[in-house]
Chains A and B, each alone.
Chain A
Amino acid sequence: MSAQTLYDKLWQSHVVRSETDGTALLYIDRHLVHEVTSPQAFEGLRLHNRPLWRTGSILATADHNVPTRPVKEIADPVSRLQVTTLDQNCAANGITEFAMGDPRQGIVHVIGPEQGATLPGMTVVCGDSHTSTHGAFAALAMGIGTSEVEHVMATQCLISKKAKAMLVRVEGDLRPSVTAKDVALAVIGHIGTAGGTGYAIEFAGSAIRSLSMEGRMTLCNMAIEAGARNGMVAADETTFAYLKGRPYAPRDTEWQAALAVWNTLHSDVGAVFDREVEIDAAGIEPLVTWGTSPEMVASVSGRVPDPAQEADPVRRQGIEKALAYMGLQANTPITDIRIDKVFIGSCTNSRIEDLRAAADVVRGRRIAGNIKLALVVPGSGLVKSQAEREGLHQVFLDAGFEWRNPGCSMCLGMNDDRLSPGERCASTSNRNFEGRQGAGGRTHLVSPQMAAAAALAGHFVDIRSL
């Protein structure tokens, strides 16, 4: 057999049948479900009197709407209805749900891996674009819409067509203070937010292999911001060590059998990709987005771009619109940008390693006087309790941060955590779209370390200078 990419292997092993035009019925191993994109799917099944195909494949949690302050009940009746609808749908169908109040509840993309419910070689879907996160485990993971959620619930399959394969190779050593988040932003800055459209991206190279699972998840999480529905990383010892002993992971003799399969989950030598991109790890700097698209990114030591320097009229207009929305002047040094709020959380950067990294910056210091709110929102109840065992919550609280309960929180502000019009935020989330964190809010995407440092200084700082 000719050399295959990891994507080829994952795709091929899930094809139930395929049509002559390449449309395939792809078998789905794991289906993650949350409250926002599932109610209409359950309703559709009920209307057609269709049963769920395999209830055991589903793991559900409420994350987008949940309050991050300790409350018994969600105050907003519309949010509450959505969450209780999920509870009822799960109960009625015998689906495992980590509901509000369960110590394992959290952001769907944090809890799947944490439980070992995301395993190498799986297909993983969720009605959420950041499902690409799970590709960090050499899984074929993709976000789907609500009609597809219903389709997978009813048939355990997805109708799909194979994408092209892209290899993003990052070779060399990342410099100190440069994180997986910076790698993700560097890739998006390089290929653009539509650069990955129609592709499945495999991240490879020595810099990727040296990332922890948390780092790989951060990177794959943002594959969708480069337009790619899937991001993935080959399985290796780091993957296996992370999974061992997790509740859904295989054990004993099954663990050995699984390893034999998982050890094949990498691209073969000589495998051909439709596109290859090479990035020098040593050239990546700590990055900050200045605009309203994740590709609008600059080094922390750089400046806000000048639209007058852009020759392409559509791009120039894009920069002008973004600067107007962001309330920024061309050529302003990034480190002169003062911020109002700080958000450390989201499925991109709310895992234990992220919180440790931020706490290391914060330890023993205080947030600046102009910071109205600095939030730390752990990705799951288990991340939260782990952090508390390590005393990280105290580090944040002593510095003036708020320490909250798990959920999506100010990543998109469907609960009470949001920006007010004109407020500027250093955020570890993944989208800086207009109004994403609250109507009129201005988002700068950064790593946890950079967000922590910005909270202390009241403006962006080059963490390499600390």
Chain B
Amino acid sequence: MKKFQVVDGLVAPLDRSNVDTDAIIPKQFLKSIQRAGFGPNLFDAWRYLDQGEPGQDPASRRPNPDFVLNQPRYAGASILLARENFGCGSSREHAPWALEDFGFRAVLAPSFADIFHNNCFKNGMLPITLPEAVIDSLFSRVDATSGYRLQVDLAAQEVRTPDGEVHGFAIDPFRKYCMLEGLDDIGLTLRHADDIRAFEAARQAAQPWLFHGARP
């Protein structure tokens, strides 16, 4: 996993609530058995006028000029500004994979759906929850200022605006540690393999039926 320390980036606004993971990456692209390459199909149904299918050459697609990420002023954005309940719906981790592959490193919203929120941390993508009023004011500033950038500092747990405003955000210490160091949590968990084995043995002794397979 990529380390996340400070990201100073261009902000792209996605002004709608309840953006679901079907919209972030539509189902036809979930057929891939790879973990990479989803960026060209991020928000596919909104981003293109033609219908997206796996294996297309992105250069042959017809972009929807009205979709915000197609506007030249947001090209190269690495911070996504979003509305409430971002990432609801399907558990597909392809959603953060697609955002990351496109170039986003952080998503700012008033609230996130639980599974999406979890999945982000496994992929070096930082979901930051900020109060509705702060998000509102960021939307107006992004709208009013071409090239609007923000600085996200994970160690300090701060989002800093160009005019010096600082917005603190909360994050679990364990997740923060893993993100800062780019750590693989399987490796960390396996350090506790003895605890897991002991727990498992006791559980199997007490409730053996939880460990059976099918019987004819």
Taking Cβ atoms with an 8 Å cutoff, the residues of A that contact B are 16-17, 19, 21, 23, 25, 27, 29, 36-37, 39-40, 43, 48, 50, 53-54, 56-57, 64-65, 76, 78-79, 81-82, 85, 96, 115, 117, 119, 121-122, 127-129, 131, 143-148, 150-151, 154-157, 159, 161, 163, 193-194, 197-198, 224, 227-229, 247-251, 254, 257-258, 261, 293, 314, 317-318, 321, 412-414, 431, 433-436, 439
Contacts and interface: CB of A to CB of B under 8 A. Distances in A.
A193 B207 contact: no
A23 B114 contact: no
Interface string B108-144: 0001111100110011000000000000000000000
A56 B91 CA distance: 24
Contact of A122 (B30, B113, B190, B210): B210
A317 B83 CA distance: 13
A145 B192 contact: no
Given A156-B200, A227-B85, A144 B91 contact: yes
B199 A16 contact: yes
A248 B88 contact: no
Contacts of A57: 211
Contacts of B173: 21
A77 to B, nearest CB: 9
Contacts of B192: 16-17, 25
B100 interface: no
A16 B17 CA distance: 37
Interface centre among B23, B35, B89, by most chain A C-beta atoms within 10 angstroms, is: B89
Interface of B: 16-18, 20, 22-23, 26-28, 30-35, 45, 51-52, 54-55, 83-85, 88-93, 96, 111-115, 118-119, 122-123, 172-174, 184-186, 189-190, 192-193, 195-196, 199-200, 203, 207-216
B114 A227 contact: yes
A27 B199 contact: yes
B91 A145 contact: yes
Given A16-B195, A194-B113, 8 more contacts: A27-B203, A39-B33, A79-B31, A81-B31, A145-B118, A318-B16, A435-B26, A439-B51
Given A19-B174, A161-B172, A431-B89, A144 B114 contact: no
Contact of A154 (B84, B186, B216): B186
Contacts of B22: 412, 431, 433-436
Contacts of B45: 434-435, 439
B118 A318 contact: no
A250 B209 contact: yes
A85 B33 contact: yes
B186 to A, nearest CB: 5
Nearest to A19: B174
A197 B111 contact: yes
B186 A150 contact: yes
Given A50-B186, A147-B119, A194-B85, A247 B196 contact: no
22 contacts: A29-B203, A36-B31, A37-B93, A40-B35, A43-B33, A65-B31, A79-B31, A82-B33, A127-B91, A128-B90, A128-B91, A143-B91, A143-B115, A146-B119, A151-B185, A156-B196, A159-B174, A251-B215, A257-B209, A318-B17, A414-B31, A433-B23
B113 to A, nearest CB: 6
B55 to A, nearest CB: 7
Nearest to B92: A37
